[in-house]
Amino acid sequence: MEEILMTPGPVKILPRILEAMSKPVKYHRGSEFAALYSDIVEMLKEIFQTENDIFVLSGSGTCAMEAAIGNIVRTDDRVLCISNGKFGERFIEIASKYSNAVMPLRFEWGLPVAVNHVAGAIDYFEPDVVTMVHNETSTGVLNPAVDIGALVKNANAIFVLDCITSIGGDDVPVDNIGADIAIVGSQKCIGAPPGLSALSISEEAWKRITANERRKPYYMDLISYKKSFEKLQTPYTPALPLFSALHEALRIVREEGLHHRILRHRTLARAVREAASRMNLQLFPKRAYSNTVTAINLPHGITEDEMKKEMRRRGIIIVGGQDKVKGKIFRIATMGNVSADDVIYTINALEDVLISRGLLHENERGVGVKTAERIIEL
């Protein structure tokens, strides 16, 4: 039985994407790669909803996070890092390697960022750079990017926004948000294999980058990427098969249409949430639910490892909690090329696990599946 990946990255890869990755390797200084890269950037601009420059890095989302911080931040820059989950904490860790003036602004895991508290922190700290994770997959929470972007702009600071697990699966109008640097990962909502990331860079961000003469990154020096892009190249040898796969994945996004893709993600996420509630499970977030991953409290009577093991026995790969919520939650992703059938199979398997553990009565079998089918309108 082929296992179904219901994880928040990597996600299942469609056959035509795998086929694209197996094509003969193009010379990365030749015209064929130039055309491929140009097409990739054009399609990325559509899903970023931006007119800003975009570059693709041969590295995962964390690579792009560090590229953003490493090129923008100087040692004495004040960096405000907003965090309500593991990946917000990652920004704190990265920023602390480049600046001696990092202020973490932490919120309870499972709750969205409080805009008024961010406003107060900005007034007090007067940051040069503000970082935030848009879609915090560790907790299943979607943060208020538009509101925070407005605060950062009013403060004349640079806004670095991790959209790694939202772009391509939710509405992320980068320019309207005011994100000076926005980041996406290949193996999330775009539905490509892991190993690539992309970031958009505003004019204001470029001013700070070019003024930062003591930029520390070498491989991730964004000015090198900008110069190379004038020839439609990357400064160093890119992960060529992954570029071909990303190109095909983006073609699929364009064929589906961004509006329809966002609607599919939202519908499938809602189906998981409401099915879970009908099965007497409690969602971990209090509100502001992610549309690409659902975090659910583990019921008494089954551990995280047991839940993952039992679901895998039924052909479904899910994940547990991270860091401070490890052993307390499990997560089901609805991102990338996930289908309605994938969600129904997952809910059916979850029902079976709960019934086998006495956590759901046998006469309640089907309540989750029927709820999901109603929402998906199968």
pLDDT in tens, 138-147: 999 999 999 9
Instruction: Please state the rounded mean pLDDT for residues 171-176.
Output: 98
Domain ranges of the chain: 15-255, 257-376
Task: Write out the two tokens for 31.
Answer: 């015209």
Residue with tokens 């964390």: 62
CATH fold for domain 257-376:
Aspartate Aminotransferase, domain 1 (3.90.1150)
| Cα gap 330→73, rounded to integer Å | 35
Q: What is the pLDDT of residue 214?
A: 85
378 pLDDT more than 80 = no
Nearest to 176 by CA among 208, 148, 211: 148
pLDDT exceeds 80 at position 281: yes
Q: Are 346 and 310 spatial neighbours (Cβ–Cβ below 8 Å)?
A: no
Tell me the chain's radius of gyration from C-alpha atoms: 21
The whole-number pLDDT of residue 367 equals 98
In the predicted model, what is the mean pLDDT of the chain? Answer: 97
The pLDDT of residue 372 is: 98
One fold for 15-255 and 257-376 = no
- pLDDT > 70 in the chain, percent: 99
**Average confidence (pLDDT) over 286-310:** 97
In this predicted model, what pLDDT tens digit does every residue of 207-251 receive, in sequence order?
999 999 888 999 999 999 999 999 999 999 999 999 999 999 999
Query: Taking the CA of residue 272 as centre, how many other CA atoms within 13 Å lie in the half-sphere pointing to its CB?
Result: 33
Mean pLDDT of 46-66: 98
What is the per-residue pLDDT for 44? Answer: 98
Tens of pLDDT along 12-41? Answer: 999 999 999 999 999 999 999 999 999 999
Residues pairing with 316 in the sheet: 4
Query: Please, is 221 exposed, middle or buried when counting C-beta atoms within 10 Å of its C-beta (0-12, 13-18, 19+)?
Result: middle
Q: Contact at 8 Å (CB) between 334 and 346?
A: no
Residues with Cβ within 8 Å of residue 47, at least 6 apart in sequence = 167, 168, 172, 184, 190, 250, 253, 258
Predicted local distance difference test score (pLDDT) of residue 1: 67
pLDDT one-digit tens code per residue, 308-339: 999 999 999 999 999 999 999 999 999 999 99
pLDDT of residue 215: 87
Kindly state the percentage of the chain with pLDDT values over 90: 97
User: Which pLDDT band holds residue 152 (cuts at 50, 70, 90)?
Assistant: very high
Domain 15-255 class?
A: alpha beta
Q: What is the pLDDT of residues 117-137, one digit of tens each?
A: 999 999 999 999 999 999 999
pLDDT score of 205 more than 80: yes
